[in-house]
Amino acid sequence: MSRVALITGAAAGIGAACARRLARDGIAIGVLDLDAARCAETVAQVVAEGGSAIALGADISDPIQVADAVAKLRVDLGPVGIVVNNAAITGFAPFLETTLEDWEQIHKVNLTGTFIVTQQVLPDMLAAGWGRIINIASSAAQTGARFMAAYASSKGGMIALTRTLAVEFGPSGITANVIPPRFITGTIMSEKSFADSQQLGTREATAATGPICREGRPSDIAGAVAWLASEEAGYVTGQVIGVNGGRII
């Protein structure tokens, strides 16, 4: 059966890798991102590889923009069966210097944005009696992360939200799972984090901290997302799936 996935933050990094990977499984992709120009680049890559995708420029924290994007996706490609809530922002500040404005903005995008997008696509999944909600959190929510109170808190909220969605919508044929990555190299966020934070150390030192001594790649996350989106993962819900080179065991 042909499926449609909405992937947020898919103009770059992990989201773009998920778009390309899911398209290889025959899934049509709604590439949603704030950065409309780069959405078009992801769409061009998917199409060049034989897939089907459309660009949806939207801010996940704006319910009207999300509703418009989901409506366009439905018309152009069909009802949404899979959502990958991947778009996020981060920031580094000692807790006592974290401003209320930064705290609220990070939660508004990462947690409230996930709420808004999921609420908009769930009716399609309920109508089909089938759905996959896949949320991208962060290992910062599992371990804590110095100077990342707002980000880690927003990602912890995503884990709790995922479990709740799993409980509420499992009887309707919808699974909800969460992947909390740790150190995925080569994305805008990870490169900026290394530049902005004195806490992370060098990339080489960070890569060497796990049993699997290499940097994580966007394709590592995309592979797990593809499995969670598949029929084979239909008995998996409410789970935190660590794709972290064994850094958290």
Ligand X SMILES: NC(=O)c1ccc[n+]([C@@H]2O[C@H](COP(=O)([O-])OP(=O)(O)OC[C@H]3O[C@@H](n4cnc5c(N)ncnc54)[C@H](O)[C@@H]3O)[C@@H](O)[C@H]2O)c1
Compute the least distance from the CB of residue 96 to ligand X, in Å.
23
Q: Any catalytic annotation for residue 151?
A: yes
Compute the least distance from the CB of residue 125 to ligand X, in Å.
21
If binding is defined by CB under 6 A, does position 181 make contact with ligand X?
Answer: yes
Phi-psi domain of 186 (left: phi exceeds 0; alpha: psi -120 through 50; beta: other): left
What count of other Cβ atoms lies within 10 Å of the Cβ of residue 224?
21
If binding is defined by CB under 6 A, does position 136 make contact with ligand X?
Answer: yes
Output the residue with the shortest Cβ distance to ligand X.
Answer: 13
Task: Pick the binder of ligand X from 23, 34, 82, 141 (CB under 6 A).
Answer: 34
Pick 6 or 23: Cβ nearer ligand X: 6
Compute the least distance from the CB of residue 203 to ligand X, in Å.
10
Q: Kindly report the CA angle at 11 between 26 and 177, in degrees rounded to 5?
A: 60
Compute the least distance from the CB of residue 2 to ligand X, in Å.
25
Give the C-alpha separation, 106 to 110, whole Å: 6
If binding is defined by CB under 6 A, does position 59 make contact with ligand X?
Answer: yes
Q: Near ligand X by CB under 6 A, which window of 98-106, 118-126, 188-196, 230-238?
A: 188-196
What's the half-sphere exposure (Cβ side, CA atoms, 13 Å) at 77? 26
Task: Pick the binder of ligand X from 42, 98, 120, 187 (CB under 6 A).
Answer: 187
Q: Which residues from 79-118 bind ligand X, rule CB under 6 A?
A: 86-89, 109, 113
Give the CA radius of gyration of the chain: 17
Q: Is the Cβ–Cβ distance between 147 and 93 less than 8 Å?
A: yes
What are the contacts of 159-164 at 24+ separation with CB within 8 A?
159/135, 159/240, 161/111, 161/114, 161/115, 161/118, 161/135, 162/133, 162/135, 162/137, 162/238, 162/240, 163/238
Pick 122 or 184: Cβ nearer ligand X: 184
Q: Which residues bind ligand X (CB under 6 A)?
A: 8-9, 11-15, 33-35, 59-61, 86-89, 109, 113, 136, 138, 181-184, 187-190
Active site residues per annotation: 151
